Structure 1
Amino acid sequence: MPVEFLGIARTNPASEVTPRPGGPLDLEYTARLARAHEDNGWDRILFAYHSGSPDPSQVAAYVAGKTERINLVVAHRPNVAYPTLTAKTFATLDHLSGGRFEVHVITGGSTADQAAEGDFLAKDDRYGRTREFIQILKRAWSSEERFDFAGEHYQFEQFVTDIKPLTQPRPRISFGGSSAAAYAVGATEADIFALWGEPLAGTREQLATIEAEAAKAGRADRPIIQIAFRPILAPTEELAWEKAEAILGRIKDTAAGAGAGAGRGAGADAGRGAGAGAGRGAGAGAGRGAGAGAGRGAGAGAGRGAGAGAGRGGGGGGGAETGGGGGVGKGRLRSATPENAGSQRLLAAVAAGERHDRALWTAPTGLTGAGDNSTALVGTPETVAAALLDYYDLGVRIFSARGYDIYDDAVDFGRYVIPLVRDEVARREAHERRDLAS
C-alpha cells in the first residue's frame, strides 16, 4: 500500500522551543499551517487533544473550510462525550469536510489530565471503555436499524443515527498505546495503530506483538502501522547535528522561561535558517535513489558520543497521550515518572544512548520526560528519508512528523523528505510488480 504522511494541526505557533506569543487560538495561523501541509505533499493533519486545549473537532471544522484535500484527524477521548453523540458529531464533520474526516481515539495516559475532566477510571478500565467506544462508533456509522448496547461502560437501547459518514464504508479509526491492554484493544479494533518513534529493534518487537494480538482476535486484516518522529533537517550532517544541539538549548531555555530571547538568538538561526535551507541544494536532487545509497556511511558516525548525555533529564516524564502536542510550549520540564508504557519505553531508549540506528536521537526525549512524541530523526533530507525507509521495511506505512519550528519544518519536510520517500517506495513497488509479472 502507498506510504502516507501525517502532520500536526496547531492553533498557535507554540512548541518546546517557542513560547506562545498570544492566546491559545490564532485562526490565521491555524489556517495557514493547515494549508502549508496541504500544499507540500502531506496526506493528513492531526488535531491533538488536551484537557485545556481548544476543542479539536471545532478547529477541524474551521480548517475544513480553509482547505480542499488534506484529511483531518481529530483526537478524541471517550470520557468527554457519549459514543452515540460522538458518532453523530463526527459523521456531521465528515460531511462538512467533504469526506476528509478520521478519528484518533485516545484512552488517556495521564491520570491527572483525565481527572481534570472528571474521569477517574483506572487505566486498564479506560482501555475497556475504549474498546466499547470504538465498537459503538463502527456500529452507529453502519447500522440502518436501531440497536441496543449493553457493555460494562456503556448501555443504551434502540439507537440509530440518521446521518451516516460521507466516507464509505466509514472513516478510519486510529489508536495508540504500548501496554499489554493497548496492544489487545488496538490490534483488535483499530484501523491504524499509532506508535512513538523507538529504535528499530523496539519497533520490530512492538509490531510482532500487534501482529500476534490481531491473529489471536481472529482478525482477517491487520491495522496499518503509524510511527511518529521529530525531524531535524539541514543541508549537511554536520549542520544537522549543530542544529539539533541548538534546538536542545532552546528547549532548555523555553522550559526555564527564558525562551522569549533564546528563540530569537543563536538557536533561532540554527532552527530556522538551517531548516529553511535544508532543501536548497541538499534536497534539490534528492528524489534520486533515496533508499538506494542513502544509508551509505549514515551509521558511521551515529555512535559518536552515543552514551555521553543519555542521562540528561532522563528522570523526567509524565504526559498525556494526547496524540501530538497537548500542553506543548507551557515552559515546564516534566518531572514525574510517566504512567504510560509508551513514555516508559522512550525513556528506556534514552538510557540506552542518545543516538540509535541511522539517525534516531533521544536527547530531547530525556529532557522533556517523554511525555509525547519526542524522538528526533537528524540529518540531511536523504539521511532522514533513508531512516524512514528503514521503518517502512519493518512494516510501517504512515509516518507522523512534527518539527520544532512548526510551520517552517512542515514546509521543509514536505518539500525535501516526503518526495524522497514516495519516490523510493514507488520504485520498490514497480520492481515488485515487474518481478511478479516475470
Structure 2
Amino acid sequence: MIMSVPEKINVLWFLPTHGDSKYLGTQEGGRQVDLPYLQQVARAADQLGYYGVLLPTGRSCEDSWIVASALIPTTERLKFLVAVRPGLQSPTLAARMTSTLDRLSSGRLLVNVVTGGDPKENGGDGLFLDHSARYEVTNEFLDIYSRLLRGETVNHKGPHYRIEDGRLLFPPHQDGGPPLYFGGSSDAGIDVAAQRVDKYLTWGEPPQQVAEKIARVREAAAKVGRTVSFGIRLHVIARETTAEAWSAAEKLISRLDDSTIAEAQKVFSRLDSVGQARMSALHGGRRDRLEISPNLWAGVGLVRGGAGTALVGDPATIAERIDAYRRAGCDSFIFSGYPHLEEAYSFGELVLPLLPTAHPVKGRGAVNNMGPFGETIAGSYRPRASAS
C-alpha cells in the first residue's frame, strides 16, 4: 500500500475546561478557569492563526457544547472540536445539536467521537457497558447519526437503537455534517474508525509507533473501500533554546511527589483503554525514563490521563519533530501546554510560523497591522527589524 504524506497540516490548540496550572499535580500555581479566561485562550488561538481548538469532555470538564456556544461569538475563524458521546446521547439528539451549532457558527464545528472513559465515571453517567459493547454502540450510533446529517430519513431497528422517522428539519451548514474525529487503539476502535470516521487520532507515541498504527488503520479502511486521514494529540513546551525548554519541563513537574504519581498510575491501571495502557507503558510511572524519543517527554503522563507526552525544545527542533509525524501520515496536530494561555503564545509565535500549515498564521501575512511590532523606543521610534 502506498503511504500518502500530507503536504500541509492543520494545527489546533486546547481549551483547558478541566483547569489550568503552572505546576502539575498541585494547587500551587493553579488558575481559575472561568468564561473570561477561556475567552482569552480562544481569542489568542484565533488571533495567532490556529486552525481550531479541542474541548475536552467528561465530568472533570465544563460541558463542551455550552462552552463552544459561548466562545463562537467572540472568535472569527477558529473551529471548535466538540465531543459526541455514544451511549450517553441518542444519535438523533446529537445530530440536532450538531446541526444547530454547525449552522449558527457558519460551519466552524468539528466533531470528536468519544467512546472510552473511566468505567467509574461511566457508571456515574448511567453507562454500564464493557469495552466491546461500547464500540458496538458507537458503530450503530454513527451509522444513524451520519445518515441524519446527510439529510436522510432514518428508520432503524438494531441491538442498541430503535429509530422511527428520524430526520433533521434544519440541515447543518457543512454539506453532510462536520468531519468526524475519533481515537481508539484497540481492534474494536480501529474497526469503527475504518468504517465510520474521517480523521483517526492517536496520542503522542514515538514516530515509529505512530507510523505503525497509521498503517494499520489505513489498511483496515482500505478493506472496506474507505480512506481515513490522521491526526495526533500532543503537549508542547517551546522556548527560544532547548535548555530553557527542558528547564521548563522539569519545573512543570517539580511539585509532584511520589505518592501523587502512584495514585494517578493506580487509577490509569484500572481503565480498559488500550490507548491509555500504551501511554502508561511509555514511562511506567518513573521519573528517570521520561524522554522516550528525541525531544518527546512523557512527564505529563505521570499524572494526566489521555495525552501524556510533550514535544520539548527550541522552535527549529520542535518543527523538525512535528515534520517526522507529518511524514508518518499526520495532517492534523492538536497541541496544548501549561499554562495554556502563555504556551499558546509561545508555540504560536515561535513554532507555528515555521510549519507548513494549510491555514494562515500570524507572522506569515495573516495580520494586516502596520505596526509597530514591539514596544516603541523612546516614545518616537519603531523597534529595529531583524532577520529571523
Per-residue deviation, residues 138-173 of structure 1 (Å, max 9, x unmatched) = 1001125x3201222111111111111011232111
Superposition deviation, residue 404 in structure 1: 1.6
Q: Is 1:118 the equivalent of 2:123?
A: no
Identify the residue that residue 317 of structure 1 maps to in structure 2: 265
- When the two chains are superposed, the root-mean-square deviation of aligned CA atoms in Å is 2.5
Residue deviations 1:250-282 (CA, integer Å, cap 9, x gap): 4x16996xxxxxxxxxxxxxxxxxxxxxxxxxx
Match of 1:4 in 2: 10
**Which residue matches 2:39?**
31
**1:207 is matched with which residue?**
214
Secondary structure class of the residue paired with 1:249: coil
Contact 1:12–1:29 (Cα < 8 Å) also in 2: no
CA distance in 1, matches of 2:158, 2:342: 46
Match of 1:361?
297
**Once the 2 structures are TM-superposed, how far is the Cα of residue 389 of structure 1 from its aligned partner?**
0.3
What TM-score do you get using the length of structure 1 for normalisation? 0.74
Q: What fraction of aligned residue pairs are identical, expressed as a percent? A: 32
8 Å CA contact retained: 1:354, 1:361: yes
Amino acid in structure 1 at the alignment position of 2:177: R
How far apart are the structure 1 equivalents of 2:223 and 2:117? 25
Residue of structure 2 in register with 1:14 after alignment: 20
Q: CA deviation at 1:200?
A: 1.5
After TM superposition, give the deviation of residue 403 of structure 1 in Å.
0.2
Give, in whole Å, the separation in 1 of the partners of 2:213 and 2:334: 17
**Number of matched pairs:** 347
Tell me the secondary structure at the aligned position of residue 355 of structure 2.
helix
Match runs of 1:206-285 below 5 Å: 206-219=213-226, 222-250=227-255, 252=256
| Distance of aligned partners of 1:139 and 1:424 in 2 relative to their CA distance in 1, 3 Å threshold | closer
Taking a change above 3 Å as real, the CA distance of residues 337 and 61 of structure 1, as seen in their structure-2 partners, is: same
1:55 maps to 2:3: no
- Residue in structure 1 matched with residue 349 of structure 2 by the alignment: 415
Q: 1:335: how far off?
A: 6.1
Q: Greater CA deviation, 371-380 or 334-343?
A: 334-343
Say if 2:17 and 2:61, in contact at 8 Å, map to a contact too. no
Shift of 1:354: 2.4
Instruction: Point out where structure 2 has 5 or more consecutive residues left out of the alignment.
Output: 1-5, 361-388
SS at match of 2:326: helix
Q: 1:380-419: per-residue Cα shift (whole Å, max 9, x none)?
A: 0111111000010110110110002111001111111111
- CA–CA separation in structure 1 for the residues paired with 2:112 and 2:130: 21
Q: CA deviation at 1:423?
A: 6.8
Report the counterpart of residue 399 of structure 1 in structure 2.
333
Kindly provide the amino acid, as one letter, of the partner of residue 171 in structure 1.
P
Separation of aligned partners in 2, 1:425 and 1:209: 29
What stretches of structure 1 move > 6 A for 4+ residues in a row?
A: 423-426
Contact 2:9 2:358 in 1 (8 A): no
Give the corresponding residue for 1:382: 316
Deviations 1:329-348 (A, max 9, x none): xxxxx464442111111122
Matched, 1:154 2:174: no
Map of 1:268 onto structure 2: none
Give the conservation status (yes or no) of the 8 Å contact 1:34–1:67. yes
> Residue 373 of structure 2 corresponds to which residue in structure 1?
none
